[in-house]
Amino acid sequence: MKLMGAIPLLASAFSVSNALQQESADQEDTTVGNTVGVKTKQDSSLVLPRVIRENVFKEDATFRYLTTIPLGGSVAKPAKNTFYLCPDFASPEMNGGPRAEWVDEVTNIIDTDNITFIEGSVEVEGNFCIDTSNNQRRLYGNGLPNHKIGAFPIDETNAAYPYYEGLDCPLGCLPSAVDIEVSPYKLDITIPKNPTYNAKPTCISTLTTGVAVLTGAAFHLEYAFDPNFRPNNPIALLPLDSCFGHPINNAYHYHAKSWECFPDNGEANKHSPLFGYALDGFGIFGPRTIGGKLVTNDDLDECHGHIHKIDWDGKKVKMYHYHLNTEFPYSIGCFRGTPVNLDETLQTTCTPEDIKVVSSENMTEVLIKTECLKKPMKMEDIEDDY
């Protein structure tokens, strides 16, 4: 357990940048809202609508097959068909196994029709908002999605039970992984609205890589451990629920082709809509690019993204963005921008005495003093906030 215990669930140590690679930086910004650290003239929150949906796959087989990383595949440097793990995170080789029977050991293809999914269709009370200012975007809620999820903890009558029974709870919190529940937690991330494209990719040092704004749940790194604490692709080792999600430390999150349960998958002949934001502020879009063409890893760089015109905050902007697709690592392979420090975002709490308001010509800035206490979050605090 030392290996996973050393990994913060929602943590990184990078700065926030504030420049956007776009065609017209001089266009008037009409977005209004509020965010951590900045408050504009007018407050406006985008509240995610409640969506009740059965967790079932679509009838077409367009996204039936997934690729996975070969046994022993490296995650030590930026490259296509893998991800770039920071050196101090954990093992640089994906050698966990044996892999599940739905993985073809020769071709490294996963047939999702053969996966033993975590059974159940449990309704949860998701809560999620987006606040936007001129320079920042705040994503916050209780971490639960706006769709039904599998039954957690995993009961011994569940078909997925044998796969989890032999696993320790990843963070040492419970006797077994089958005992992990799904419960609300304080998801609160402030990212740059105008991210900067960096020529040199940044490695991934967190399990959380972004947030699905269509549902309010987090995207996680494609990294899990077998009973001998050897890492591999989660979906190659373990069943997930039919939305390709499961919990760690009670926090529900997505892997692989999670968009099957998103309320808006877009149109087949058009570019996929925005599905979420990465920790560096760049957008995460669905599996189709211009004209509805399905995105392959050959179309993307080593961070799983590329540059062309997209819809961004109500404008057509030529900028970098990520895509979800069916080829490993399915989403973010490294950060093309500078990821935010989630340690500060998620664990800093302030009392009213810690905040002072300063007026300026264009906006009112809310300055949070550095004396704010950092303390572990309790569930009752989270429930009070939401």
pLDDT digits (tens, 9 = 90+) for 311-321: 999 999 999 99
Amino acid at 246: H
- Write the burial class of residue 59 (CB in 10 Å: 0-12 exposed, 13-18 middle, 19+ buried): exposed
Cα 92 from Cα 207, distance rounded (Å):
15
Q: Which is it for the CA torsion 110, 233, 11, 242, positive or negative? A: positive
- The pLDDT of residue 52 is above 90: no
**What are the start-end ranges of the H helices in 51-194?**
161-165
User: What is the bridge-based pairing of β-strands 348-349 and 373-374?
Assistant: antiparallel
Range with the lowest mean pLDDT among 159-168, 194-203, 273-282, 284-293?
159-168
| Residue showing tokens 């057509």 | 316
| CB contact set of 206 (below 8 Å; sequence gap of 6+) | 8, 10, 11, 12, 221, 279, 339, 342
pLDDT digits (tens, 9 = 90+) for 56-65: 334 457 899 9
- The pLDDT of residue 33 is above 50: no
pTM here?
A: 0.76
**Could you give the percent of the chain with pLDDT greater than 90?**
59
Residue 339 sits at φ, ψ, to 5 deg, of -70, 150
Mean pLDDT of all residues in the chain? 76
- Domain ranges across the chain: 2-346
